[in-house]
Structure 1
């Protein structure tokens, strides 16, 4: 039996059919906040409270998060399109410049307007393919669960 190789375009298309929530993963590089839009996010365990996020090896937020050992997950609401785009688009300047956020005691910025924030310790990392899987252990959650969540489906924020 021969091995069939799926092209990156086909893989992106098929994986994009699965709807997911939208988050902004944040951290601190020691002098400035870092953050990136992430749809590869899910719960791993209830006891202990573990979650995972996946970041591309080339994502500028990855190294500071791994070095600091802390990160935050800001789950966006449906009206957070501007936030999702701001943190998904490569920018030459600090993405946080002029943006309202709270610097938590652990260093992970909590974005104003995000209905859910999860402050995490970096529990473990796995380098797989072109991404790192970051396992976070929840330290603290802040939630206001009245807003409709943002969804990512077939390359679009909904």
Structure 2
């Protein structure tokens, strides 16, 4: 019995039907901050506090984050469209230029205006398909849960 393979276009459309939150994953490449918009994010465990985030192997933020062993998760609010778009642009642009962020003691850039920030140590990583699954252990959180979250659905930020 042969297995059928779903086309990348069909896979993207059916996976896009599942609504998710929107995050910006941040880290450091030497003295330069790096960050990228990501919707492939979820909780893994309460004890210990673990989460996962998936980054494409071609994403320039992946290698510095893995090398440093530390990253931040900035969960965006509904008013974060400009932030989501800024960090989804090609890396040739300086995503942090003119943008306000806090350089926490541990090193992960915390974006101003993000309602939730999770400071993470890299717990493990797995190469799967065209992505890397990063497992982060939550070290600290900063939260202001008064705003509604940003949602990503069928290729649109809502």
TM-score by length of 2: 0.99
The 2-side partners of 1:18 and 1:36 are apart by 20
Partner of 2:136: 136
Runs of 5+ consecutive residues of structure 2 not aligned to the other structure: none
Task: Report the 3-state secondary structure (helix = DSSP H, G, I; strand = E; otherwise coil) of the residue aligned with 2:145.
Answer: coil
The 2-side partners of 1:64 and 1:91 are apart by 13
8 Å Cα contact 2:60-2:91 kept in structure 1: no
How far 1:140 moved relative to its partner?
Answer: 0.1
How far 1:16 moved relative to its partner?
Answer: 0.2
Cα deviation digits, residues 58-80 of structure 1 (max 9, x gap) = 00100000000000000000000
Cα deviation digits, residues 94-116 of structure 1 (max 9, x gap) = 21011000011111100000000
TM-score by length of 1: 0.99
What is the alpha-carbon root mean square deviation over aligned residues?
0.6
Query: How many residues align structurally?
Result: 158
The 2-side partners of 1:76 and 1:146 are apart by 12
How far 1:54 moved relative to its partner?
Answer: 0.1
Task: Tell me if 1:3 matches 2:3.
Answer: yes
Runs of 5+ consecutive residues of structure 1 not aligned to the other structure: none
Choose 91-100 or 41-50, whichever is displaced more: 91-100
Partner of 1:95: 95
The 1-side partners of 2:131 and 2:121 are apart by 19
Partner of 2:28: 28
The 2-side partners of 1:91 and 1:43 are apart by 27
The 2-side partners of 1:111 and 1:9 are apart by 33
The 1-side partners of 2:68 and 2:139 are apart by 15
How far 1:91 moved relative to its partner?
Answer: 3.9
Cα deviation digits, residues 119-158 of structure 1 (max 9, x gap) = 0000000000000000000000000000000000000000
How far 1:14 moved relative to its partner?
Answer: 0.4
